Structure 1
Amino acid sequence: MNNIVIFLLIAIIISLTSSIRQLKTEVDLIKMKLTTISKHVDLPDPTNNELKIIVLELISKGEKIKAIKEYRLATGAGLLEAKQYIDHLSK
């Protein structure tokens, strides 16, 4: 009985991993298409100079969490993307 349960769990994990990889690939393709479309229709960059100045000021005050929050509110970015952007600016 234990072997069957373990086998089923492994099969489920493999299936979920495969599905997650496929979804990630599809999301990456959608992001590339959206970037191309936004450039084609000349949409403004959400990280404009005003936002960048605000975020850099917060970073200089040691308020990285507030900077991440501000970036997320202004751009609609996810937490990881916002953190990576703020970390990049912090260097």
Structure 2
Amino acid sequence: MSTLAVLLVVLVGLTTMATVESRARRLERRMSRLEHRLGLLMAHHGVPDDDPELAEVAALVRAGQEIPAVKKYREVTGAGLLETKQAVDRLRD
């Protein structure tokens, strides 16, 4: 296989990987926004969230351990820092 052919295969592979990664990031952001909206709707209508990991976040907040609560919330939801901070603040109130 010539050097040009190898270079072309590598270039196509890298381009494909970059496209897939970009799409995955967009889908993750979209999913995070949808989960946030669903959470707001559930809270508005008084529907409890029975996720045990989120119950752990609430327990950490009640225990005054805000930083571990933020870390756990981000781990569970994949939310950004601002959204997480707002969610943890709502749990504190």
Q: TM-score, normalized by length of structure 2? A: 0.54
Q: Take 1:30 and 1:39, find their aligned partners in 2: how far apart are those partners? A: 14
Instruction: State the match for 1:33 in structure 2.
Output: 34
In the alignment, structure 1 segments of 5+ residues that lack a partner are 57-66
Give aligned pairs, total. Answer: 69
Counterpart position of 1:50: 62
Residues 33-84 of structure 1, C-alpha deviations (whole Å, 9 max, x = no match): 110011101157x554326x2245xxxxxxxxxx48x933xx3607x979x6
The AA in structure 1 aligned to 2:28 is: V
1:5-48 per-position Cα deviation (integer Å, ceiling 9, x unaligned): 1111011100110111111111111110110011101157x554
2-side partners of 1:21 and 1:76: how far apart? 21
- Identical columns (%): 1
Distance in 2 (alpha carbons) for counterparts of 1:55 and 1:36: 23
Indicate the residue corresponding to 2:71 in structure 1: 71
Q: Decide whether aligned partners of structure 1 residues 28 and 76 sit closer, same or farther in structure 2, where only a CA change above 3 A counts.
A: closer
Could you list the runs of 5+ residues in structure 2 that have no partner in the other structure?
86-93
